[in-house]
Amino acid sequence: MGKRGIIDCDVHVYPKTMDELKRYMKEPWRDRLKPMGRGFYENPVHGSRLDAKPPGGGGPGTDPEFLREQLINEYGIDHAILLPRAFCNMHPDPDYATAIAAAYNDWLADTWLDKYNKDGVFKGSITIAHQDPAAAAKEIDRWAGHPHFVQVMTDSGARAPFGQRQYYPIYEACERGNFPFAIHPGTDGMGINAQPSPGYPTHYIEWHTCLSLSFQAHLVSFITEGVFERFPGFKVVMVEGGVSWLPALMWRLDAEYKGLRYEVPWLTKRPSEYLRDHVRLTSQPLERPDNDAHLLQVLEMMDAKHVLMFASDYPHWDFDSPTRAFPRLPEELYNRIFSDNARELYGL
């Protein structure tokens, strides 16, 4: 059968300047927009690959031809799922946050999904500000039917776990548009959002190691609140939140369910049984033990054949090369992780 073309499920692209975004914003938001990051947890050495800065100028992830050279052509990528980083979910003003999200979507649609995308290799994510679920739902509906938007995305930073009912308008819109809901780390503990650890870490290494904490909390919330029962067509993608924690978390939740199922009577099966139909994880950052056999065991325990999708996290410092991220995999498992799971999820 042979190996199939790769779908890279986490590629970050950026505007060349803030002016690219401002042209899509009305006042008073246009003058308020300034360069921003996620806050004070920044890599103290370098945040992107040292070779990712385009030779013609601009920051990493801003030049489509250079990105094609370094990623698409280098590794034979069939499609790159683009996740811009707006960091709009930390702002206390929901109207401002919604305006930022909309500007990023307009910019992405006009550039990476149109002018830069004659061959259709780039597929996009609809940025939303979950502070205002009704406005977020309208933004999702605005892009329904677009040929290259394939999912909705938001930061893992939030004021409440994502299974709670205030978010339901977002999930209803995702179902209407047949969009998976992707969660990416970025604004945990920033602005109005809760920090998932007991207090604030001192160092970037602490913060980065513990990225998976909010993902675990959101996943348990989705399942126990009955989101997948209420929205049977709804799917979640957990991007850049780690992988190896999944089996142990599901073992614990299944064990708790045995004695506490009366508290969540809307669940019709064990918590772990919702994963295959509703949850996908991306591989970067992939926890790589010294013994490759141990990683292969983890992949089997988490049902990676059906729930895991490859991601490189280009152009960031911890980029995972498709040729080095995994040990040698059986051909069927390779095709599922690197291609088939994403093709099925996104309809590619």
Contact 58, 93 (CB under 8 A): no
Angle between helices 133-142 and 168-177 (to 10 degrees): 10
pLDDT at 86: 95
186: which 2 tokens? Answer: 């970025």
* Token pair in block for residue 135: 């406005």
Cβ(107)–Cβ(143) under 8 Å? no
Q: Are 79 and 8 in contact (CB under 8 A)?
A: yes
CATH of 6-33+63-346, one of 3.20.20.140, 3.40.50.11540, 3.40.47.10, 1.20.140.160: 3.20.20.140
Amino acid found at 342: A
The distance of Cα 174 from the centroid of its chain, to the nearest Å, equals 15
Sheet strands (E) in the chain: 6-11, 77-82, 122-127, 149-155, 181-184, 236-238, 279-282, 308-309
Cis previous bond, 161, omega within 30: no
Q: What is the DSSP string of 179-196?
A: --EEEE-S-TTSTTPPPS
Contact of 190 with 219, CB cutoff 8 Å: no
pLDDT, position 219: 98
**Given this model, what pLDDT does residue 45 score?**
85
The strand pair at 122-127 and 149-155 is best described as parallel
State the Cα torsion 288-293-295-301 to the nearest 10°.
Answer: -170
The predicted pLDDT at position 46 comes to: 84
**pLDDT at res. 285:** 93
Neighbours of 267 (CB within 10 A): 18
Residue type, 247: P
| Measured distance CA(286)–CA(194) in Å, rounded | 25
Q: Which residue has the tokens 């059986």?
A: 330
Residue among 175, 71, 192 at smallest CA distance from 129: 192
Q: What is the pLDDT of residue 1?
A: 57
Residue from 227, 279, 226 nearest 249 by CA: 279
Residue 315, preceding peptide bond in cis (omega within 30° of 0): yes
pLDDT along the chain (348 residues), means of 10: 86 95 94 78 86 92 97 97 96 96 98 97 98 98 98 97 98 98 94 93 92 97 98 98 97 98 97 98 95 96 98 94 95 97 98
- Give strand ranges (E) for 35-178: 77-82, 122-127, 149-155
Residue of 335, 338, 279, 330 lying closest to 309 (CA atoms): 338
Q: What is the pLDDT of residue 55?
A: 92
Amino acid at 178: N
pTM: 0.97
Do 86 and 25 meet the contact criterion of CB atoms below 8 Å apart?
Answer: no
What pLDDT sits at residue 133?
98
In the block, residue with structure tokens 């980065």: 208
- Which one, of 206, 137, 129, 205, lies nearest residue 171 by Cα? 137
Burial of 198 by CB count in 10 Å (0-12 exposed, 13-18 middle, 19+ buried)? exposed
**Tokens representing 321?**
């090369």
**Exposed/middle/buried for residue 45 (C-beta within 10 Å: 0-12, 13-18, 19+):** exposed
Parse the chain into domains and list their residue ranges: 6-33+63-346
